[in-house]
Amino acid sequence: MSERKVLNKYYPPDFDPAKIPKLKLPKDRQYVVRLMAPFNMRCKTCGEYIYKGKKFNARKETVQNEVYLGLPIFRFYIKCTRCLAEITFKTDPENTDYTMEHGATRNFQAEKLLEEEEKRMQKEREEEELNNPMKVLENRTKDSKLEMEVLENLQELKELNQRQANVDFEAMLKQYKEMEQEQKRREQEEDEQEIKAMLEQAQNRRLLVDSDSDEEPAKPHVKPEAKTKPTDILQEDPQPQSKKLKTESWERSVGKLTTKAQLAGLVTVRKQKPSPALANGKGNQETPASSGASPTATGTTASSLSLLGAYSDSEDSAGD
């Protein structure tokens, strides 16, 4: 099976690479690259600020006749975002930075110039000391004198501050001791108050427990009576609880007919009408029988009471 992707190419036997024409490109050829602004700058034409990190589609070219240690230097062309004026800057491999060339001014340039000036002075001093040993001695003497002057000025400032600031150390210690004693006293008072509150809370709990025990006396424990005989269960109340409840509700609504005195109030003695003979002939005579109850009426009342008493006894037995 042949390979889908061919890695090797066929060179015929009469192949001569010297006959291949070479592509000649100009040395100042420009390429379009995408980059970000390396520093803050301000356009000279319109005054627009271009901040570091702003992205541009720039043109890049190699600077002719400028090389640092064999490293080429590149130039970049960008356009202002407001007026479309051309701005150029190039690389600075010596300082690992970029240098502004045309169309804008770099912001915060003063600080960079100061640093460069310090570096230049330090470099010149090192070159002088390298070639002239007497210069090294003079520089050391100058450095020592400068250091002594700085120390003297510092000491004078310290003495001046001590003269102006009259500090009483005894008063400071006394004040510190008073503050410490005051703090201890406050802590003791807080502890006493906390203990007092805890005691009051415990006393209140005891009083509440005692009052609850007085209001609710202990109920005596009633032991169930032991059944000595197996036949004692027959003597207990055979009525179920539901029937007892029904009887009680009936007695509350209607009344309980248990006493003979209550039933006696319900019975009235019926008086017999006098006969016509007695009304005509003996109307004027008063007999003890006519003034009181007749023997027949007395017998009738007694018999009625006996019947009602028997009825009430049967009702009581049924209720029990």
Binding positions for Zn(2+) are 43, 46, 80, 83
**Which residues line the annotated binding site?**
43, 46, 80, 83
Distance between CA atoms of 56 and 78, rounded to whole angstroms? Answer: 7
- Which own/partner pairs from 62-69 qualify as long-range (CB within 8 Å, at least 24 positions apart)? 62/27, 62/28, 63/90, 64/27, 64/28, 68/93, 68/94, 69/93
Outline where the chain has alpha helix (H).
Answer: 109-131, 133-164, 169-215, 241-253, 260-266, 276-280, 288-291, 295-319
Distance between CA atoms of 226 and 47, rounded to whole angstroms? Answer: 117
CA distances from 159 to 83, 140, 166, 183 (A): 62, 29, 12, 36
With b for 16 or more beta-carbon neighbours within 10 A and e for fewer, the 121-157 pattern comes to eeeeeeeebeeeeeeeeeeeeeeeeeeeeeeeeeeee
Distance between CA atoms of 188 and 293, rounded to whole angstroms? Answer: 103
Strand, helix or coil for residue 43: strand
Strand, helix or coil for residue 90: strand
Tokens at 142, concatenated:
């100058």
